[in-house]
Amino acid sequence: MKKLISTMAIIIGIIVLSIPYINNLIIQYNINTKRNILNEITPEEIEENKNTETNYDYDSIIDIETNSLLWEIKDFDNKYIIGQIAIPDLGIDIPILKGTTNSNLLIGATTMVEGQEMGERNYPLAGHLMKNKSLLFGSLMDIEVGTVVKISDKKMIYEYKIYDTVVVPDTALNMLDDIKAEKKGKPIISLMTCYYSSKTGKRFFALGELVDIYTYP
């Protein structure tokens, strides 16, 4: 009996230790899958996807856990893909999805305000901070002033340059307002992730100003 209990304890321990690894595998697989879809999707389809109804219920967002991953991922729909974000210096290259939902956040960066447009006003994007820096916004907190950020709708590429990083309370919704772009005197991008953990009650923002717009190759 004692041997059985010991064996079960070892098995449970292995499963618990494997959870982060399983998380990473699931997320990486889905990012790769959606990136392939992004490569095939047309600018016209992206334009149509911009009209998709979605949610911006920040309070419903949960931390990434294995027991919720498969459930949330099954709810994902390709109609939410509206673009791509690339930060070469950080190795970030993931889809942009319309709406801040749990399923969207498992795939890429999500829009945070209804009606936001690339290259106009304030363009806020949210992404999960991961222990594995190669996933989602896992490396965002390593960003430095001067770093180039590119977003695209497959018609145009919008290039921003980071000018500031800040840590704010998770209640600071003013970070999403267009008035921040008005004060800057040009369109900006606001990249947000949790400050180490959602439980800190703080959010990390990297702010960039629009420096160039050119045709998608």
Q: What is the pLDDT of residue 6?
A: 52
What span, in angstroms and rounded, lies between the C-alpha atoms of 101 and 61? 7
Of 158, 19, 35, 194, nearest to 107 by C-alpha is 35
Q: What is the pLDDT of residue 107?
A: 87
Which residues form the catalytic set? 128, 194
Q: What is the pLDDT of residue 152?
A: 98
Residues 6+ positions from 142 with CB-CB distance below 8 Å: 90, 133
Q: What is the pLDDT of residue 15?
A: 42
Per-residue pLDDT of the chain (217 residues; tens, 9 = 90+): 555 455 544 444 444 444 456 666 666 666 666 667 777 889 999 999 999 999 887 777 777 654 455 555 555 678 999 999 999 999 999 999 999 988 889 889 999 999 999 999 999 999 999 888 888 999 999 999 999 999 999 999 999 999 999 999 999 999 999 999 999 999 999 999 998 877 788 999 999 999 999 999 8
Sketch out the chain's domains with CATH numbers: 2-215 (2.40.260.10)
What span, in angstroms and rounded, lies between the C-alpha atoms of 157 and 189? 13
The residue type of 191 is: L
Q: What is the pLDDT of residue 31?
A: 66
Q: What is the pLDDT of residue 40?
A: 84
